Amino acid sequence: MSENSNKIHIDTDRILKGFTEDQEIDNENYLINYHSLITENIRLNNRKITRNSFWMITLLTIYFLVFLEGAEVLNIESVGGIKDPKILLNFLPVIFSFLYLQNITLWNNNINLIPLFEKVSRKMFSLGACTDTVNIIKPFSLLHHILNYQYENKKVNKILKIPVGIAFYAILFLPIVLDIFFLVLIYNNNNMGVIPAVCFLIVTLLTITTIVQALNSHKG
């Protein structure tokens, strides 16, 4: 009876393993299609991250210009009919927080896709484990290039190790610090009417979600 139970348990484990683990792709056409799909997903993610980063910098610039100089510095009243700069100071953080959350989510997705890309590329092109060819054919990402580029000179690598590490944490966590800064300003500069309260709530939820995603990125 015990032997039969063990056999059933082993068979069950094999069945579950077949459902939960991906199988190796040996068909060349399937492998090419799989590689193309991974490459395109990484490329699209990189484009979205670049686009979002551009708008984040733009929004941040507008925010601090309005915060420090007032709405008249950008002539916002004549362009958008906005008389109270607090409207922008409440609304811009919502967009900024959302864009950064999307960036972190896309980054997490790339963390999962890049090892697959490297594995499939090595199999398709018979690349060695230590070759740099995989990085050369990988869809270009400015952030990935800066943080992961290895210089031939070992002294240069040692010198850049600390600045690159600082840059990584700055890029990852500075927008979260800005989100918290925005929350403090929304709370202190308003009587917490309906619109400021809604903006405060949205930024809070986005910030909490972003922190979880950022910690997951660091773990990956």
**DSSP string over the chain:** -HHHHHHHHHHHHHHHHHHHSPPPP--HHHHHHHHHHHHHHHHHHHHHHHHHHHHHHHHHHHHHHHHHH-GGGGTHHHHH----HHHHHHHHHHHHHHHHHHHHHHHHHHHHHHHHHHHHHHHHHT--TT-SHHHHHSPP-HHHHHHH---S-HHHHHHHHHHHHHHHHHHHHHHHHHHHHHHHHHHHSS---HHHHHHHHHHHHHHHHHHHHHHHHHH-
What pLDDT does 220 receive? 45
Distances (CA, A) of 104 to 39, 52, 211: 19, 11, 9
Tokens of 13: 């484990």
Tokens of 212: 């979880």
What pLDDT does 192 receive? 65
Whether the predicted pLDDT of 150 surpasses 80? no
Task: Grade residue 81 by pLDDT with cuts at 50, 70 and 90.
Answer: low
Distances (CA, A) of 129 to 32, 119, 120, 126: 20, 10, 12, 9
Residues 26-66 have pLDDT tens digits of 667 778 888 899 999 999 999 999 999 999 999 999 999 88
Supply the pTM of this predicted model.
Answer: 0.76
> What whole-number percentage of the chain has pLDDT above 70?
65
Q: What residues does each domain of the chain span?
A: 2-219
Task: Grade residue 18 by pLDDT with cuts at 50, 70 and 90.
Answer: low
